[in-house]
Amino acid sequence: MTVNRELKELQAQQVRAIAKERLQSAINSLQRAMYDLEVYSDKFDNASTDYERGKVVNYAINHLYCNIQPNLRIDLLADSQSELAKLEVSNAQNV
């Protein structure tokens, strides 16, 4: 029975490590996004007309929607949240 308990603990540690890695990956994506948006901010400041400024804002919105949101891998974060919830239920049943 000790081997089974040790195996479950190793699996739990792996679930926690993967969740932490996925969270860090989302943080890294957001940090890169901040840099990208600063580039758009500079382009906004250098635009000579409101029409050009509007286009820059449009490009920034497009970048946020097409590049940043998919790269956050919210699906993987949700998977990790689910796995952690399963661990909590399993731990509660073993007490």
Residue 21 confidence (pLDDT):
97
Residue 48 confidence (pLDDT):
97
Residues 7-45 pLDDT 10s: 999 999 999 999 999 999 999 999 999 999 999 999 999
Structural domain count of the chain? 1
Residue 62 confidence (pLDDT):
92
- As a whole number, mean pLDDT of residues 44-64 equals 96
- As a whole number, mean pLDDT of residues 51-80 equals 91
Question: What is the reported pTM?
Answer: 0.77
Q: Is the pLDDT of residue 95 over 70?
A: no
> Residue 60's CB: how many other CB atoms inside 10 A?
17
- As a whole number, mean pLDDT of residues 48-52 equals 97
Domain that holds residue 27: 2-94
